[in-house]
Chain A
Amino acid sequence: MPETAATAIEFAGVTKRYESAVAVEDLDLAIPAGLITTFVGPSGCGKTTSLRMINRMVEATEGTILIQGEDNRDRPAHELRRSMGYVMQQAGLMPHRTVADNIATVPRLKGASRADGRARALELMDTVGLDRKLAKRYPAQLSGGQAQRVGVARALAADSPILLMDEPFSAVDPVVRTDLQNELVRLHEQLERTIVFVTHDIDEAVALGHRIAVFGEGGRIAQFGTPEEILRAPADDFVASFVGRDRGLRRLTFASGQELPMHPLEGGTASGLERPWAPWELLLDDAARPAGWRFGEREVTGGTLFTPGGSLREALDAVLSSPSGWGVAVDDAGRAAGLIASDDVMAAAGRERRSRYGVGE
């Protein structure tokens, strides 16, 4: 996780009041530069309103929002908006413009020539992993995942250090969504923009955010911190209930599984027993990669794998999903490297818990 440097966006006493209701109340928040900050919370908690106040799609009733130290009302709204990328739910592409023209929207608004806009669009299609052949298609001819990538490319075309994303992946199926999330993390590492990402999904918030702002009812921030802090020590009952029942399990995402004892495939040494997983037998393919388990005559598909540098959560899942009850660890090349015992995972989780609270072994 990159170190906190400067503040990119600062909310100072920001309130948004509608005729009948308060959407956001007295919000103070400093969004660090170069990191992904997620706004998460139940619907109607003011997270989207807060995002939209950054580029003045919604005007704040009170308070100021500073963008890199500058009041966001110092510039005309349209200029401010052209200076930040914005990705919305359902992509929000212009149905009457081709993919390339959609991506080139902001450069064209800023006065770039058609040819320059198009060249930039093609570059950005490479950046977000879109086939250049799609450049002349219309949005209606794209899949949901492709449309969302075009949305991201269009936002990147603003060439701004700030990217605002309003539940961008909520309308695509879970598999594509995971792809897009991984892609976003990769893009962020490559481009180092400040990203503000709104989601109602705590898993997404944890997976993407370097910082998480949990919004509570009535537009106040219930907790702001790293994902680990929020899962480990929810500030109040609201945050605890929002981060959910699985938070014990999710927390293990932040505990390294590196210290786990590795039982050699041949058995013996570490456990002191001869192949403690017998009568199960681990099958390997020609490249020494795990290929399932055998029990007598039966061959069964294997479970998830523990990869180098994996978390305790990954180790626990490898154990729980394995037919033999022994998790399979692999090396970088995917070759079976050893086996993990469930007792060892539980012991590691216990050590991690004691050290977290500073209680001795």
Chain B
Amino acid sequence: MGNLSTVGHLTWLHLLQSVLPVVLGTLISIPIARFAAGRRARGAGGRRGAGRVRRGVVVNAAALLYTVPSLALFVLLPLILGTSITSLTNVIVALTLYVVAMMVRSCVDAFESVSPEVLDAGTAMGYRPLRAFFGIELPLSVPVMAAGLRVALVSNISMVSVGAVIGIQSLGTLFTDGLRRDLMAEIVVGILATVVLALVLDRLVTWSAAALTRWQVRA
């Protein structure tokens, strides 16, 4: 049964291609979103003209990125990066871009969900900006950020499969291979493995977020 080890190997590759871009994309999105959300403490006088424009430009640019077809990006990126089409780097960079496209919006919403009074209280207590960001703003934006992260993660898991079309190994390979050899069982295994992967990772994110937000009152 070499099949099982093949599925295991493909699952590992799939996991790598879906998780790594989500982590990288989120880390890139946080500073971009924080810049777009602007200063929000009370006394900052609300969002003035310049701040609103900045937010609009950043959020819409991110959304625009998402409209580039994934297959086109897989083919185009090697021309820019100088990698081969089937390299893992290629896929990871492409998918990271998609995660950024989704997470920038989520992170902007997340930062905007933090009460300005609480940020104001932080300033009044004598927090300096950097410590206020890591000690107050970031932890309080976890609930909204986690919701965005779940969507990005699950949609990324399905997007990884597309890479198989151009020969990048993942659970998607089971679809292309099964289709070519007319093996229904192989396709079904591919679908099941992908769904299980998505469910497990989604639960993991939900649990971690819950652990980080015990302060929220649950009914």
Bound CA span A79–B121, Å: 15
Contact B123 A138 (CB under 8 A): no
Please judge, given known A-B contacts A79-B126, A82-B126, A106-B126, whether A94 and B121 are in contact too, CB under 8 Å.
yes
Contact A81 B217 (CB under 8 A): no
Contact A88 B122 (CB under 8 A): no
Please give the distance in Å from A114's CB to the nearest CB on chain B. 14
B121 partner, pick from A78, A93, A141, beta carbons under 8 A: A93
The count of A-to-B residue pairs whose CB atoms sit within 8 angstroms is 67
Number of A interface residues, CB 8 Å? 29
Please give the distance in Å from B138's CB to the nearest CB on chain A. 10
Q: Which of A53-71 contact B (CB under 8 A)?
A: 55, 57-58
Whether B117 sits at the interface, judged by CB under 8 Å, is: yes
Q: How large is the interface on B (under 10, 10 to 19, 20 to 34, 35 or more residues)?
A: 20 to 34
Please judge, given known A-B contacts A94-B136, A109-B126, whether A138 and B121 are in contact too, CB under 8 Å.
no
B215 partner, pick from A52, A55, A83, A96, beta carbons under 8 A: A96
Bound CA span A141–B128, Å: 28
Bound CA span A93–B136, Å: 11
Bound CA span A103–B214, Å: 19
Please give the distance in Å from A54's CB to the nearest CB on chain B. 11
Please give the distance in Å from B41's CB to the nearest CB on chain A. 9
Bound CA span A57–B44, Å: 10
Contact B127 A57 (CB under 8 A): no
Closest to B121 in A: A92
CB-CB under 8 A from B140, the residues of chain A are 95-96
Please judge, given known A-B contacts A96-B140, A141-B217, whether A57 and B128 are in contact too, CB under 8 Å.
no
Please judge, given known A-B contacts A57-B120, A92-B118, A94-B118, whether A78 and B215 are in contact too, CB under 8 Å.
no
Contact B215 A86 (CB under 8 A): no
A138 partner, pick from B45, B125, B131, B217, beta carbons under 8 A: B217
Q: Which of A79-107 contact B (CB under 8 A)?
A: 79-83, 86, 88-90, 92-97, 105-106
CB-CB under 8 A from B214, the residues of chain A are 138
Bound CA span A147–B87, Å: 56
Contact A97 B215 (CB under 8 A): yes
A-B pairs with beta carbons under 8 Å apart, 27 shown = A52-B43, A57-B124, A58-B43, A78-B127, A78-B128, A79-B126, A83-B126, A88-B117, A88-B120, A90-B117, A92-B121, A92-B124, A93-B118, A94-B118, A95-B140, A95-B215, A96-B136, A96-B139, A96-B140, A96-B213, A105-B125, A106-B125, A106-B126, A109-B126, A138-B214, A139-B215, A154-B125
